[in-house]
Structure formats: C-alpha cells, structure tokens
Amino acid sequence: MDRVLQLIKEGPSAHLAGFFGMLIFAAVHYIVFAKLREQVCIIVCPYGRLQGVLLDRNSINVTYDYKRGEPRAKHNPLEDRDKAGKGDCIDCNSCVLVCPTGIDIRNGTQLECINCTACIDACDNIMDRVKKPRGLIRYASERTIADGTRLSFNVRILFYSVVLTGLLILIGYLFSIRTDIESTILRMPGSMYQEYDSLHYSNIYTIQLINKTRRDLPVEIEIEEAAGEIKMMGGPLVVPKGDVGKATFLLVIEKSQLKSSLTPIEFRVLSEGREMAEIEATFVGPNTLHAGK
C-alpha cells in the first residue's frame, strides 16, 4: 500500500514502463468487457475448446431435458398439455434471450456454453408461472436425461472425491509447513577463506530472506558449532514486511577446530527466538588441511 501511494505521488513520468503497462492492461480489459464480451468466451477462452474432449455422456452439465420438454408448443392456459401430447417447453425463448453467448441450450451442449446457469433460472421462472415442476433445464448428464434416471453415486464420483480429498489434504499440509521466512545462505561467489587473525580463519557469506508476513521481522543467524562466531556486516538484520532482505556476514572459526579444507556447517535462522530454517553450507579452509567429504 505504501508503495502504491508512493507511485501515485511521484506521478507517471517517473515510472513510464509501469504506466504504459497499466495503460495496455486497462485498454485490453476495456475492449474485452465493452466490445468483445461473449466473443472472448467463444473464440479466446480455452475452456470451451477443451469441453469437447473432456465431456462424455456421463458428464454433468447445464442440460435441457428434451424427454420432458418435447414436443415443444406455445402455452395455452385452457389446455391440458399432457392430454394434448405436448411437452413442458412452451417455446417462450426466455432461455435463449438470457444466454450471454446467444445459444439455444435446447439444441444440446455447445462449446459456447460457459455454464453461467442463467437459462436454468429463466426456465425455472417460466415453469413456476405455468405451474410445472422446475428443472426443465438443469444440471444433469446426457445419460440421466436419456434414461430418465437421477444421478447416482458411481466409480467416477468416488475417484474424483478421493483425488479432491487428497488435494485438500496436500494443500492443508503445505499450509501447515509454510514458514514466515524463506532463506538462502551462500558463500560469496569466488571467495576463499581469510586469515582473520593469528588464531582464526573466516569465510564470507550472503544471506537472502523473503519475509512472507505483514510485519517487519528481526533476523539472527546462529551456528551449531560452538567454536564459531558470526559477525553481521551493517548491523542487525531486519527484513521489511512482504519484502526481500539481503545481508553479508562473516563466519569466524578457530584454526584449531578445522580438521579439513571443507567443513560442513549448519546455520540456524531465527526470528524473535523462533527457529525459521536450518541451512547447510560449507566453510573453506586452507588446502594444507585434508579435503573433507
């Protein structure tokens, strides 16, 4: 929000690329909503194209019950339609008039149908007025309409239910393990060890942190090895809310503690006393020490 206010205050001339990007974005949406409208659903949207290969006789869709509706005939309040052998569709055309893509669902499922269900509501309204049961147009499969049966629990519903439940469990698990901070620690590219003083070696590292919370987070780094010390450069690290923070730090280790030229190190990233991540890295020492595995 602060960033948006800042952009507004600074004006378009200070952010020409963003300004023209927004102009193009707004123009495309204006053309889609004001001019093209349903043409986008029919021509551009891939959903309609995919429908043909995804649907079969068992697929539930917005469907006209032709068994009940045909033969269609105009409404006559003085006539018993059943005795006259007429179907329930009074050919009022309401379902066609309300359809945003202008199709007649009575001709069967068509790729232009975006399943908005406006025709269902329109037809239910008409059925109420002519005192016939609702649902002449409803969610149903071609098979249930043809057989005159209702939807029953089948293997496909069971399969999709299992898949959906699995996905819900997976997304719940992913939410549960989501951390407030995402962090990476790398030894500075191209850097070797430094002789820190007569008793210590040091390595230089960079840490990058993504703060996924809505508050600024102070961050500390610790290592498991007691003989090592971390020296942050530029003072304590605080990552602004919803932003990326970067810092450089030195890891100083006593020479006597190093047994090889490549020592595995485990960093712990903490914020407000809570451990956010454990990151493995290596500490480089002189080649005179044996190479580590």
Q: Which residues are near ligand SF4 by CB under 6 A?
A: 62, 64, 69, 89-95, 98-101, 103, 105-106, 113-119, 122-123, 126, 136-137
- Looking at the Cβ atoms of 120 and 276, the one nearer to ligand SF4 is 120
State the minimum distance, in angstroms, from the CB of residue 58 to ligand SF4. Answer: 19
Q: Is 201 exposed, middle or buried (0-12, 13-18, 19+ CB in 10 A)?
A: buried
- Looking at the Cβ atoms of 90 and 258, the one nearer to ligand SF4 is 90
State the minimum distance, in angstroms, from the CB of residue 10 to ligand SF4. Answer: 45
Q: Is 28 exposed, middle or buried (0-12, 13-18, 19+ CB in 10 A)?
A: exposed
State the minimum distance, in angstroms, from the CB of residue 95 to ligand SF4. Answer: 3
State the minimum distance, in angstroms, from the CB of residue 180 to ligand SF4. Answer: 43
> How many residues does the structure list for the chain?
293
State the minimum distance, in angstroms, from the CB of residue 78 to ligand SF4. Answer: 18
In the chain, beta strands by DSSP E = 61-64, 137-140, 181-187, 194-195, 200-211, 217-223, 228-232, 237-239, 244-254, 262-271, 274-284
Collect all residues with Cβ–Cβ distance below 8 Å to 151 and sequence separation of at least 6.
Answer: 60, 140, 141, 144
- Looking at the Cβ atoms of 114 and 265, the one nearer to ligand SF4 is 114
Collect all residues with Cβ–Cβ distance below 8 Å to 224 and sequence separation of at least 6.
Answer: 265, 266, 268
State the minimum distance, in angstroms, from the CB of residue 89 to ligand SF4. Answer: 3
- Looking at the Cβ atoms of 42 and 269, the one nearer to ligand SF4 is 42
Rg of the chain taking only CA atoms, in angstroms: 34
- Pairwise CA distance, residues 292 & 146, whole Å: 74
- Looking at the Cβ atoms of 114 and 284, the one nearer to ligand SF4 is 114
- Looking at the Cβ atoms of 41 and 269, the one nearer to ligand SF4 is 41
Q: How far is Cα of residue 84 from the mean position of the Cα atoms in its chain?
A: 54
Comparing CA positions, the residue from 114, 105, 96 lying closest to residue 40 is 114
Comparing CA positions, the residue from 203, 209, 280, 199 lying closest to residue 242 is 209
State the minimum distance, in angstroms, from the CB of residue 161 to ligand SF4. Answer: 25
- Looking at the Cβ atoms of 79 and 272, the one nearer to ligand SF4 is 79
